[in-house]
Amino acid sequence: MAFLTRLTCLVAALTSSAQDGSSLWGTLRAPTLPKWISSGSYQSSITIPWGSRTAGNSNPYTQGPFTQITRRYDFNISRGMIAPDGYEKSVLLVNGQFPGPLIEANWGDYIEVTVHNNIVDGPPEGTAIHWHGFLQTRTPWEDGTPGVSQCPIAPSKSFTYKFRAELYGSSWYHSHYSAQYSGGLFGPIVVYGPTNVKYDVDLGPIMVNDWWHEDYFTTVKKVMAPGFQGRVFSDNNLINGRMNFDCSTVDAGDTAKCTNNAGLSKFKFRSGKAHRLRFVNTGSEGVERISIDNHIMTVIANDFVEIKPYDTKVVTIGVGQRVDVVVQANGDPKSAYWLRSNLTSCSTAKQPFALAAIYYDKAGEEVAPTSTPWDVPDPGTCANDDLAITEPYYPIPLPNASWTQNMDIGVYRNASGNLLWTFGGVSARVDYNDPTLLQVNNNDFQFDPEMNVINYGSNSSIRFIINNPTPSPHPMHAHGVNMYILSTGPGNYSGAPVVRSTNPMRRDVQMVQPFGHLVVQIDAVNPGIWAFHCHIAWHASAGFFSQMVFLPDQIRKYKIPASAAQTCNDWDAFTRQVAPDQIDSGL
């Protein structure tokens, strides 16, 4: 394709810092990762932090270690100007970096992150960071969902999150305040643990995301404007925060902001070795199909769940999902190959193709690969891989449900002409000043209908039947749990049997296809308020969000740290001076 060949230049025209601040993601200076962290204060006769636990012999939910080690991080959130694909724009950075720095821990460690909100002008904004996929067992106030688990962190204030790495594998953190993460506020997390497939080299996180040239709040304003037609098109697609862009396509007034051939991400393969790659879709809307020319990938984990390995040429990931693969470097040691990530036909993208170069040991580094793509056409279903082939490595049978809840998806135009999404019949909006968790902890169960709260009382396990009679696919994400994925496919649910009730797939995000259905089940074992929402940033902004209350009697008994209530004192003080422009759901 002629237009694609214009984007393959590997002699970067921008410095790495003009592209992504001080981030090293996608450069050959990014370190490979260890099998576990051996430094720190961990002293023991056993060298492996998780001892004799394996992916097969230990229930990841109940038998993880308690290492008593805390991994500490300091995050300074600020605005900045960078050009990840050559187009200079205002973004939100973590410690001056896009994507943000790696959080790493061993299975069973605690992670502690002090977040300083330095978004003090341009205009000032609150923030809150969500640790995607973490169970937060008995720590629901650390979940980072503003209006649900805390008030936003006010500008120039700080909040320290502390939670346990209960599961192991690959994930990410992102702002959950409005669509801030679409403006760059995200980064990767790796929790080292046992593995079901051996590998030699861990290449670390490979984040793929659609990218908008306008700043995130401009897009939110379009999405929330009366008369909005339902589609906003991304400008580009990034791999680890980098891609080239064809500046001849920008408006004449913007050419000064745009540099051709900004620079692509680069990775190194060691000949003959097995490499682990941790793909994360950190995007706002698009489903990505990822492949490596001439190489087969062995899928070993989906989200935080190790699965029975299977081979594929292409992996498909919706927003929020992760896929870990092992790739044998059995190509030509003097060659380079393209890593490709294509936004699927289900996505609204002006330029859907992302490229990165993988160099073998003996390859010259500024030469563009000449490899050709696998011919595996996009099936156009927007679906994840068949549940029949994604089977958890550690088997857990499906428990009986104590309740079945219908949560249909809908979209409508309200009397002001705003296009709003509904989930279970309600279009949601949260009150930043009054988080649900603190409300329930105060024994107040009077929920404003627009909070879209369902109280599941003492239910043990809840089955959700989700029909999607809308033309959009949706990556459905539940906080604080792994869902059992029971059934998915086209049309409304009509009672099809559960896929493998002896060991259904488990994960924290699952795609529901356009005019399709999804049936999931969630064990309500962790007292808290847990968000259940679509991970498309623009859909969540337009109300596609709900809250599940699990075990309220125990939520009332929690002694929530005073720092959570302090976020509300600080936020109240801030909002008395500056009225924040909450034009969306807040999430």
Q: Which is nearer to Cu ion, 37 or 113 (CB)?
A: 113
CB of 477 to Cu ion, least distance (A): 5
Stretch in the footprint of ligand NAG (CB under 6 A) among 15-23, 31-39, 358-366, 448-456 = 448-456
Q: Which of 45, 229, 248, 416 binds ligand NAG (CB under 6 A)?
A: 416
User: What would the two tokens of residue 281 be?
Assistant: 């879709």
Binding mask 213-242 for ligand NAG (x = CB under 6 A): -----------x------------------
Q: Which does 116 bind (CB under 5 to 8 A by kind): Cu ion, ligand NAG, none?
A: ligand NAG
Q: Are strands 528-534 and 474-478 parallel, antiparallel or unpaired?
A: antiparallel
Sheet holding 315-317, edge to edge: 265-269, 353-360, 336-343, 288-292, 315-317
Task: List % helix, strand, coil for the chain (3-state, nearest 5).
Answer: 10, 35, 55
- The dihedral over CA atoms of 123, 285, 417, 151, expressed in degrees to the nearest 10, equals -40
Q: Positive or negative, the Cα torsion across 103, 104, 106, 109?
A: negative
Q: Which does 408 bind (CB under 5 to 8 A by kind): ligand NAG, Cu ion, none?
A: ligand NAG
Q: Which is nearer to ligand NAG, 145 or 344 (CB)?
A: 344
What residues does 546 pair with on adjacent strands? Answer: 532
Measured from the Cβ of residue 577, the count of other Cβ atoms closer than 10 Å reads 8
Distances in Å between the Cα of 454 and the Cα atoms of 4, 436, 439, 448 are: 48, 11, 14, 11
Residue numbers at the binding site for Cu ion (CB under 5 A): 132, 477
- Phi/psi of residue 218, nearest 5 degrees: -65, -40
118 lines the binding site for ligand NAG (CB under 6 A): yes
378 lines the binding site for ligand NAG (CB under 6 A): yes
Q: Which does 378 bind (CB under 5 to 8 A by kind): Cu ion, ligand NAG, none?
A: ligand NAG
Q: Which does 76 bind (CB under 5 to 8 A by kind): ligand NAG, Cu ion, none?
A: ligand NAG
Q: Which of 180, 351, 467, 487 binds ligand NAG (CB under 6 A)?
A: 467
Q: Which is nearer to ligand NAG, 433 or 459 (CB)?
A: 459
Which has the closest alpha carbon to 99: 196, 202, 172?
172
Binding mask 512-551 for ligand NAG (x = CB under 6 A): ----------------------------------------
Q: How many residues lie near ligand NAG (CB under 6 A)?
A: 36
Measured from the Cβ of residue 363, the count of other Cβ atoms closer than 10 Å reads 20
Q: Which does 122 bind (CB under 5 to 8 A by kind): ligand NAG, Cu ion, none?
A: none
Q: Which does 132 bind (CB under 5 to 8 A by kind): ligand NAG, Cu ion, none?
A: Cu ion
Q: Which is nearer to ligand NAG, 48 or 368 (CB)?
A: 368
In 216-368, beta strands by DSSP E: 236-239, 265-269, 274-281, 288-292, 297-302, 305-312, 315-317, 322-328, 336-343, 353-360
| Cα 477 from Cα 130, distance rounded (Å) | 12
CB of 405 to ligand NAG, least distance (A): 6
Q: Which does 414 bind (CB under 5 to 8 A by kind): ligand NAG, Cu ion, none?
A: ligand NAG
| Cα 337 from Cα 367, distance rounded (Å) | 10
DSSP 213: S
Stretch in the footprint of ligand NAG (CB under 6 A) among 147-155, 185-193, 296-304, 452-460 = 452-460
Q: Which is nearer to ligand NAG, 42 or 515 (CB)?
A: 515
* Residue whose CB is nearest to Cu ion in the complex, by number: 132
Stretch in the footprint of ligand NAG (CB under 6 A) among 28-36, 322-330, 373-381, 574-582 = 373-381
User: What would the two tokens of residue 578 be?
Assistant: 């500056």
| Cα 484 from Cα 467, distance rounded (Å) | 17
Q: What is the DSSP string of 467-522?
A: EE-SSS-EEEEETTS-EEEEEEEESS---PPPTTTTS-EEESEEEE-TTEEEEEEE
Which spans of this chain sit near ligand NAG (rule: CB under 6 A)? 1, 4, 76, 78, 96, 116, 118, 224, 289, 291, 314, 340, 342, 353, 373, 375-376, 378, 399-400, 403, 408, 414-416, 418, 420, 454-459, 467, 469, 492
